[in-house]
Amino acid sequence: MTTCPDNIVEVRDLVKTYRRGAQVVPVLENITFDICEGEFLALMGPSGSGKSTLLNIIAGIDKADSGTVAIGGVDISSLSETDLASWRSLNVGFIFQFYNLIPVLTAFENVEMPLLLTGLSRAERREHVEIALGVVNLTDRMDHYPSQLSGGQQQRVAIARAVVTDPRILVADEPTGDLDRVSAQDVLGLMERLNHEFGKTIIMVTHDPRAAERAHLVRHLEKGVLNDVRS
Amino acid sequence: MFVLKLIIRNAFRHKLRTGLTILGVAVAIMAFGLLRTLISAWYQGVESASASRLITRNAISLTFTLPISYGEKIRSVPGVRKVSYANWFGGIYISEKNFFANFAIDARNYLDLYPEFVIPPEQKDAFLTDRKGCVIGQSLSERFGWKLGDPVTLRGTIYPGQWSFTVRAIYQGAEKSTDESQFFFHWDYLNEVMKKTSPGRADMVGVFVESIEDADRAAEVGRSIDELFRNSLAETMTETEKAFQMSFVAMTGAIVAAIQIVSYVVIVIIMVVAANTMAMTARERIPEYATMKTLGFGARYIAGAIFGESITISLVGGLLGVALSFPAGTWIEHSLKQFFPAFAISTPTIVLDLVASVIVGTVAALFPAWRGTTINVADGLRRIG
Ligand SMILES: Nc1ncnc2c1ncn2[C@@H]1O[C@H](COP(=O)(O)OP(=O)(O)OP(=O)(O)O)[C@@H](O)[C@H]1O
Ligand SMILES: [Mg+2]
């Protein structure tokens, strides 16, 4: 992990403050760092330190006050809302703490969702969904609704949904935060595999030291400032 | 396709909530439709009135009569084809609640002027030859079980006394809107009695009815008739039957306006209720909409899902309301037959019902859709935790 052939993420002078009435809350103060293509990065830090905020800005669902974020050479801080939405659908896979599956859609339909924004035919979509569900080992559950699946299974469906469009980056905000140990190990193993086998760059926010162990690199965010800690 | 699937499944996610909303919309739409039908039933008499018949009455007011001698003069006016006359009798059968319209008519000419009252020829002859005979409408005969040959006694109000008649003919309406609840008897019988009991009221007529050659010249003919009696003892006022009927309806115009307002108020109320339900539903789904946005779905998907769900629910309610309004309408038709000869839910009313329910659904979704499409994705996701 000493050589970095290519930076996929370049964050420069990122500043983000929230205003609560008259009170100004600084969350990110001049954050600058890079992420290598193929990296598995864990972001740690105390609650309220701005981990989710930083992750959201990198993933293009939140905007910084100033500074730039370039991903694969594209400056996403300058994209319009609409362009950003289609950029996200092609380049970023999202994994959330609470899975965020749509309850009225089956596992298959949830995984198919991101593909509906592409020009793929029905048959092509089916093929992609089956591959993705195969990777997370849930092909036999594809007609189940989220309420019929365990937490760990739901998170695996969510991972299938995140990778079905074959994005270069996966962002995960406490992906094991709501899971028991065994399910958490499952999910982490899966993420490791996606990093290793499929070369996905992963940025994972976590409180769990066991989760952080799986990453190549751990960074600490504290009081709006980022520190390196190699694992 | 995807949005459609989402709409249908979301709509029936909270079965009780959706069921109650549908029921509420259904009842409101039914009430709306029935009130609209009530209003059009009110104007039905006007709608079915002929534009080619004129009515001449005393210019002072309807309660003042005209000398029968006017008839001859009216007949001489160019454009007038036939003249007849009638008096509002105002008789009561046993008690006031049995109200129906009854008239003393110039028998032969009057029935000729009203071809919409269809009478079998032998019954018509029987009526014409019996001075104390009467003609009654089909629905009136059903209401009191009167058959041909039955005696009927009315208590006079304008013309005091007990008046005995024999049912000689039963007419049927040529159209559904024809009023089948009227009662006619010989003006000659009335006049004969008046001559004996109060001679001052004899040979007086309530209204003259004229048929004219050309409906387009109705106003002109009416003016010539009134011109004849200008400056005479009893000046006349001639108008088309439609206008004449309208003046009755206009008396109750305030009530009609009130019903009209109530019908819209019903819609506004259900709109507010539906909007509240939709807002509650959409608020619960904010994290889902935020997730969809995260995945790259644009505002039109979110708006489509919210509007679609709202309109689906209100349209199902609207359809149910329309379906319910038919049995309800039939029931009203039966129980209010004497007031509304035809209480039929028309196609325009059904269309209006469905349009109203779509509007309810659309308005109810406005605010939730605005919230759903404008909310910041990161904030929307945060709601989950
Ligand atoms: N919409 C908002 N308005 C105001 N303040 C906000 C908003 N979103 C986040 N914050 C504040 O910004 C700070 C950082 O929030 P963030 O969610 O990024 O923290 P975090 O490191 O992910 O915390 P946790 O580990 O608890 O998830 C917190 O102090 C939070 O209260
Ligand atoms: Mg967080």
Structure confidence by residue, pLDDT tens digits, A12-56: 999 999 988 889 888 999 899 999 999 999 999 999 899 999 999
**Residue B105 within any structural domain of the chain:** yes
Pair B278, B211 in one domain = no
- Where do the structural domains in chain A lie, given as residue ranges? 38-61+81-230
Q: How far apart are CA A101 and CA A91, in angstroms?
A: 19
For ligand 1, the distance from its centroid to the CA atom of residue B210, given in whole angstroms, is 87
Model-level pTM?
Answer: 0.76
Is the distance from the beta carbon of residue A53 to the nearest atom of ligand 1 less than 6 Å? yes
Please give the share of chain A, as a percent, with pLDDT higher than 90: 81
Best of A100, A118, A164, A205 to disrupt the B interface (most B CBs within 10 Å) is A100
pLDDT 10s digits, B338-376: 667 677 888 999 999 999 999 999 999 999 999 999 988
pLDDT of residue B210: 94
B288, closest residue in chain A (CA to CA): A102
- Which of B189, B204, B234 is where one domain is finished? B234
Looking at the structure, tell me whether residues B101 and B139 fall in a common domain: yes
Question: For ligand 1, is residue A2 a contact (CB within 6 Å)?
Answer: no
Count the domains in chain B: 2
A48: contact with B, CB 8 A cutoff: no
Tell me the pLDDT tens digit for each residue of A115-171.
Answer: 999 989 999 999 999 999 999 999 999 999 999 999 999 999 999 999 999 999 999
Q: Domain for residue B277, yes or no?
A: yes
Ligand (nearest to CA of A51): 1
Q: A-contacting residues of B 311-340, CB under 8 Å?
A: none
Q: Residue A100: which of B9, B287, B296 has the nearest Cβ?
A: B287
Cα–Cα dist B107/B85, whole Å: 9
Q: Which of A28, A80, A113 to mutate to test the interface with B (most CBs of B within 10 A)?
A: A113
What percentage of chain B reaches a pLDDT higher than 90? 70
Mutate to test the interface with B, among A102, A129, A170 (most CBs of B within 10 A): A102
B381 in A contact zone (CB under 8 Å):
yes
Do B223 and B81 fall within a single domain? yes
Non-local CB neighbours of A10 within 8 Å, separated by 6+ positions: A34, A68, A69, A70, A71
State which residue of chain A sits closest to B10, comparing Cα positions.
A104
> Closest ligand 1 atom to the C-alpha of A207?
25
Q: What is the pLDDT of residue A2?
A: 55
Question: Per-residue pLDDT tens for B93-151?
Answer: 999 888 899 999 998 899 999 998 999 999 999 999 999 999 999 999 999 999 999 99
- The verdict on a CB contact (< 8 Å) between A62 and B6 is no
For residue A117, which residues of chain B lie inside 8 Å, CB to CB? 295-297
Confidence class of residue B244 from pLDDT cuts 50, 70 and 90?
A: confident
Average pLDDT across chain B, whole number: 90
Average pLDDT over residues B324-341: 81
According to the model, what pLDDT value does residue B149 have?
95
CA distance, residue B294 to nearest chain A CA (Å): 7
Confidence of residue B215 (pLDDT cuts 50, 70, 90): confident
> CB–CB of A102 and B292 under 8 A?
yes
Residues B349 and B279 in one domain: yes
- Is there a single domain that holds both residue B18 and residue B159? no
Residue B291 pLDDT exceeds 90: yes
**What is the pLDDT confidence band of residue B385, given thresholds at 50, 70 and 90?**
very low
**Which secondary structure element, helix H or strand E, spans residue A227, and what is its range?**
strand A225-230
Q: Note whether A104 contacts B13, CB cutoff 8 Å.
A: yes
Is B36 in the same domain as B132?
Answer: no
**Is B276 in the A-facing interface, judged by CB distances under 8 Å?**
no
- Residues B157, B214: one domain? yes
User: Residues B223, B102: one domain?
Assistant: yes
User: Which of B381, B327, B288 is CA-nearest to residue B30?
Assistant: B327
- Give yes or no for residue A27 CB within 6 A of ligand 1: yes
CA angle B337, B339, B341 (to 5 degrees): 55
Q: Among A80, A74, A35, which residue's Cα sits nearest to residue A54?
A: A35
How confident is the model at residue A124, as a pLDDT?
Answer: 95
Using CA positions, which residue lies closest to atom 4 of ligand 1?
A18
- Chain B hits for A162, Cβ within 8 Å: none
Phi and psi of B95, rounded to 5°? -145, 165
Domain boundaries A38-61+81-230, corresponding CATH code = 3.40.50.300
Tell me how close the Cα of B247 comes to any Cα of chain A, in angstroms. 60
Strands A225-230 and A74-75 turn out to be unpaired
Q: Does B6 touch chain A (CB under 8 A)?
A: yes
pLDDT for position B1? 77
Residues of chain B with Cβ-Cβ distance to A102 below 8 Å are 6, 288, 291-292
Domain holding B192, by residue range, is 60-234
Average pLDDT (B327-331) is 90
Cα(B355)–Cα(B333) distance, rounded to whole angstroms? 25
Q: Are residues B266 and B168 in the same domain?
A: no
Question: Can you point out the beta strands (E) in chain B?
Answer: 53-58, 66-67, 80-88, 102-105, 117-118, 133-137, 151-156, 161-173, 183-186, 204-205, 207-212, 236-240
Q: Rounded mean pLDDT of B269-292? A: 92
Q: Read off the tokens for B260.
A: 């009209």
| Pocket mutation for ligand 1, best pick of A14, A16, A17, A18 (most atoms within 8 Å of C-beta) | A18
What's the number of CA atoms in the CB half-sphere (13 Å) around residue B367? 13
Residues around the ion ligand 2 (C-beta < 5 A): A 52
Q: Does A83 touch chain B (CB under 8 A)?
A: no
For residue A61, report the phi and psi dihedrals to the nearest 5 degrees.
-115, 5
| Cα A98 to averaged position of ligand 1 atoms, centre (Å) | 17
Q: Tell me the one-letter amino acid at B269.
A: I
Distance, in Å, from the CA atom of A54 to the CA atom of A31, rounded to the nearest integer, reads: 9
Count of CB atoms situated within 10 Å of the CB of B34:
22
Q: Which of B8, B291, B376 to mutate to test the interface with A (most CBs of A within 10 A)?
A: B291
Is the pLDDT at B337 greater than 70? The verdict is: no
Which of A10, A63, A62, A31 is closest to A222 using CA atoms? A31
- A24 in Cβ contact with A40 (< 8 Å): no
> Are B122 and B182 in the same domain?
yes
For residue B295, the chain A residue with the least C-alpha distance is A89
* C-alpha A173 to ligand 2 mean position (Å): 7
Of A64, A58, A50, A44, give the one whose Cα is nearest residue A88.
A58
